[in-house]
């Protein structure tokens, strides 16, 4: 593994966080990384909600079966097709927003923060709950939440490379 790519391998899902606020400036850095992502025809359909209010966080955390972790911040990743710069976002918003999410997760690792992708789309119940708690208009899609904060668990860097998954020239 080439050490120049270490940050890719160091990014792991972190589910235990220090009880410590995450500085707004770090959150903004993460969002800059998110909005540097590629998107179909550069349509950039994304919007983000940053949640740091403990009451809002605990509402989300208590209602998420797979998201009961003590992160001090959550970023909801949304697609708003009415502000997308290209029509292709109608078909590609999931990929576009996913690229932004991965950028944020890797950026978090680069800033020595921990993060984890909490899935919403295509689970309607989870998506509806997030719409309700964060007062998101109905026509805006929710892809996921990203929990982020200072990590209180360590995981080893790794690839999950499997030679047999790779085909060359033909299947």
Ligand X SMILES: Cc1cc2nc3c(=O)[nH]c(=O)nc-3n(C[C@H](O)[C@H](O)[C@H](O)COP(=O)(O)O)c2cc1C
Positions touching ligand X (CB under 6 A) are 12-13, 15, 66-67, 116-119
Nearer to ligand X, 45 or 67 (CB): 67
Residues 5 and 60: their CA atoms lie apart, in Å, by: 34
Burial of 102 from C-beta contacts in 10 A (0-12 / 13-18 / 19+) = middle
Report, in Å, the least distance between residue 118 CB and ligand X. 4
At residue 36's C-alpha, the angle toward residues 147 and 149, to 5°, is: 20
- Residue (13 or 86) nearer to ligand X, CB: 13
Minimum CB–partner distance for residue 66 and ligand X (Å): 4
Which residue's CB is nearer to ligand X, number 110 or number 119? 119
- Give least dist CB 67 to ligand X, A: 6
Q: Cβ(51)–Cβ(59) under 8 Å?
A: no
Q: What residue number has its CB nearest to ligand X?
A: 119
CB of 60 closer than 8 Å to CB of 74: yes
- Min CB(8)–ligand X separation in Å: 10
């Amino acid at each position: 593994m080439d050490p120049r790519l270490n940050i890719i391998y160091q990014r792991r899902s972190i589910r235990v966080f220090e009880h410590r606020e995450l500085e707004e400036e770090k959150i903004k850095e993460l969002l800059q990384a998110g909005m540097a992502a590629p998107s179909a025809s550069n349509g950039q359909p994304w919007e983000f909600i940053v949640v740091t209010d403990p009451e809002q966080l605990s509402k989300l955390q208590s209602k998420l079966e797979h998201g009961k972790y003590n992160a001090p911040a959550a970023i909801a990743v949304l697609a708003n097709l009415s502000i997308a710069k290209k029509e292709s976002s109608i078909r590609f918003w999931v990929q576009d927003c996913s690229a932004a999410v991965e950028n944020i997760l890797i950026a978090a690792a680069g800033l020595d923060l921990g993060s984890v992708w909490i899935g919403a789309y295509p689970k309607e119940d989870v998506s509806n709950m997030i719409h309700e708690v964060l007062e998101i208009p109905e026509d805006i899609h929710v892809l996921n939440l990203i929990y982020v904060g200072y990590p209180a668990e360590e995981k080893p860097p790794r690839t999950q490379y499997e030679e047999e998954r790779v085909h060359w020239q033909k299947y």
